[in-house]
């Protein structure tokens, strides 16, 4: 801690003497006071150790008894205050109802006594007929109804909350994931073909919780299920040559798995229809539509991009016989904020916000629910390969932090854009079509954050493993 030096003043006694320099505080102390300084440091270390031990005890306490945390106590206090408010309101309402019922019962009792006197009079006089009996029966029915449901008393619930509502807000911290640049081929990769270990221009993909890959095998006119680590896939829709029969497909370009019905919904592009397959049974949901991409929100609503009409529409569950609701574009082909030009893949988040790869406008558009126009969230600076440009955007996916991933197809790369930024960053690919990607199309993440890419012209699905 210290070393002797020439004579200089001691910091404690201010006398000139042989002093030692403390490298921690850069002060000098004589031989008499250097032990005191050392003792003081030892005491401070002891206090620090005690503080750390106390903190460790607090950690153990919260691990063993999380219900004692201040936040939990705040929730408990809110519960007590809310219950007290509700109980007081209920008590006040009961008193009003009891008082009103008492007045109502007195009035009904007067009517009853009057009717009862009439009955006794008719019985004593023995002079009555059907008219008299019907009258008395109806009067009894009326006062019975008044007793059961007093007309001057009712319960009305205010739409405004009686209590102050609370909610738990967890801040979303952005996480800039990275992926290994050398991918793993998880489906196809055996050149172009129609065998079960081959694909022919795969487009849309879907990954389930078991890491099974569902593939719109476009040029093979089929949908293939490729289980994790399998050497070949299994045809689960189409595959019986190109055609327009119910059991055939013609260039399926995208698909989704309906979690509620466990069915496959397919954008059967060249047949101009959206068709549902359930255990080899088929049903056309939407016909005569130039469908390019599909999405389903958390409410089960189905979204379809229509390249012919340059729009995206939404359909409610089971209501596919109508025209649906326009949610993006639909104002002719163009590059204005209320227009699209050849929309391709789409993505819908939990707020029913629609993201559209606006292919011919070289941009990605974001349309909030019920918005009349969108905003540009990626590209929009003309076609090119700079980081602020896109070239033929296709597959699109948005993570839970709102970061947008785009298959920048003609640039053979996957690029990530954060909304509000002037340019994106390449996350995989971008090394030329021969190296990694060749016109990437569909994108998907599995539940571990690994990135899957439909490598369209390389006839394979590639998995880029996340770097933890």
| Mean pLDDT along residues 168-182 | 72
**CA 50, CA 375: separation in Å to the nearest integer?**
56
DSSP H helix total and E strand total for the chain: 3, 27
The H or E element containing residue 452 is: strand 451-455
Look up the pTM and report it. 0.65
Confidence (pLDDT) at 168: 60
Beta sheet of 16-22, edge-to-edge order? 4-9, 16-22, 27-30
CATH architecture assignment, domain 178-467: 6 Propeller (2.120)
Pull the structure tokens for residue 36: 């005191």
Query: What letter would DSSP give residue 322?
Result: S
Contacts (Cβ under 8 Å, ≥6 apart) of 396: 345, 346, 347, 355, 356, 357, 364, 404, 405, 406, 407, 443
Q: What share of the chain is helix, strand, coil (3-state, %, to 5)?
A: 25, 35, 40
Q: 263-281, pLDDT tens digit by residue?
A: 999 999 999 999 999 988 9
What pLDDT digit, counting tens, does each position of 198-250 carry?
Answer: 999 999 999 998 999 999 999 999 999 999 999 999 999 999 889 999 999 99
Strands of 65-212 (E only): list them.
184-188, 202-207
In the DSSP assignment, the letter for residue 68 is G
Question: What's the rounded Cα separation, in Å, for the pair 48 and 2?
Answer: 22
Tokens at 131, concatenated: 């008219």
36-45 LR contacts (CB < 8 Å, sep 24+):
36/12, 37/12, 38/1, 41/1
- Give ∠ CA 251-443-322 in degrees, rounded to 5: 55
User: Domain residue spans in the chain?
Assistant: 79-170, 178-467
Between 19-23, 125-129, 192-196, the lowest mean confidence (pLDDT) is in 125-129
Whether 355 has a pLDDT exceeding 90, the answer reads yes
**Reading across the β-sheet that carries 273-278, which strands appear in turn?**
252-258, 263-268, 273-278, 281-287
């Amino acid at each position: 801690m210290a070393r002797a030096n020439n004579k200089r003043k001691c910091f404690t006694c201010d006398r000139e003497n042989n002093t030692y320099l403390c490298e921690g505080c850069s002060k000098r102390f004589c031989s008499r006071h250097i032990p005191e300084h050392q003792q003081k440091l030892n005491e401070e270390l002891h206090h620090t150790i005690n503080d750390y031990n106390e903190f460790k005890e607090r950690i153990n306490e919260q691990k063993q008894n999380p219900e004692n945390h201040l936040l939990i106590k705040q929730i408990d206090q809110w519960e007590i205050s809310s219950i007290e408010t509700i109980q007081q309101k209920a008590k006040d309402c009961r008193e009003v109802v009891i008082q009103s019922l008492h007045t109502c019962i007195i009035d009904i009792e007067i009517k009853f006594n009057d009717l009862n006197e009439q009955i006794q009079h008719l019985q004593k006089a023995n002079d009555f007929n059907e008219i008299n009996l019907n009258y008395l029966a109806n009067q009894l029915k009326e006062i019975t109804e008044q007793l059961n449901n007093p007309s001057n008393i009712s319960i009305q619930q205010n739409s405004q909350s009686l209590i102050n509502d609370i909610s738990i807000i967890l801040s979303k911290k952005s996480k800039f994931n990275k992926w290994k640049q050398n991918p793993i081929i998880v489906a196809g990769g055996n050149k172009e073909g129609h065998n079960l270990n081959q694909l022919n221009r795969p487009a849309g993909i879907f990954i389930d919780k078991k890491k099974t890959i569902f593939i719109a095998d476009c040029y093979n006119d089929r949908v293939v299920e490729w289980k994790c680590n399998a050497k070949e896939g299994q045809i689960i829709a189409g595959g019986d040559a190109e055609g327009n029969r119910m059991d055939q497909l013609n260039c399926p370009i995208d698909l989704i798995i309906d979690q509620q019905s466990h069915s496959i919904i397919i954008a059967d592009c060249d047949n101009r229809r959206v068709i549902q397959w359930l255990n080899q049974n088929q049903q056309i949901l939407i016909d005569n539509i130039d469908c390019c991409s599909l999405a389903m929100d958390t409410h089960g609503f189905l979204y379809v991009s229509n390249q012919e009409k340059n729009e995206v529409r939404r359909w409610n569950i089971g209501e596919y016989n109508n025209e649906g609701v326009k949610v993006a574009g639909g104002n002719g082909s163009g590059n204005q904020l209320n227009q699209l030009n050849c929309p391709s893949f789409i993505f819908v988040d939990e707020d029913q916000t629609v993201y559209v790869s606006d292919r011919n406008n070289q941009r990605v558009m974001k349309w909030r629910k019920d918005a009349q126009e969108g905003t540009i969230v990626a590209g929009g600076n003309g076609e090119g390969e700079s980081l602020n440009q896109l070239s033929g955007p296709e597959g699109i996916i948005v993570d839970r932090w709102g970061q947008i991933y785009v298959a920048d197809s003609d640039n053979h790369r996957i690029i990530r854009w954060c909304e509000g930024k002037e340019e994106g960053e390449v996350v995989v690919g971008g090394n030329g079509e021969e190296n990694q990607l060749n016109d990437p199309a569909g994108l998907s993440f599995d539940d571990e954050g690994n990135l899957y890419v439909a490598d369209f012209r390389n006839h394979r699905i590639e998995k880029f493993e996340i770097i933890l």
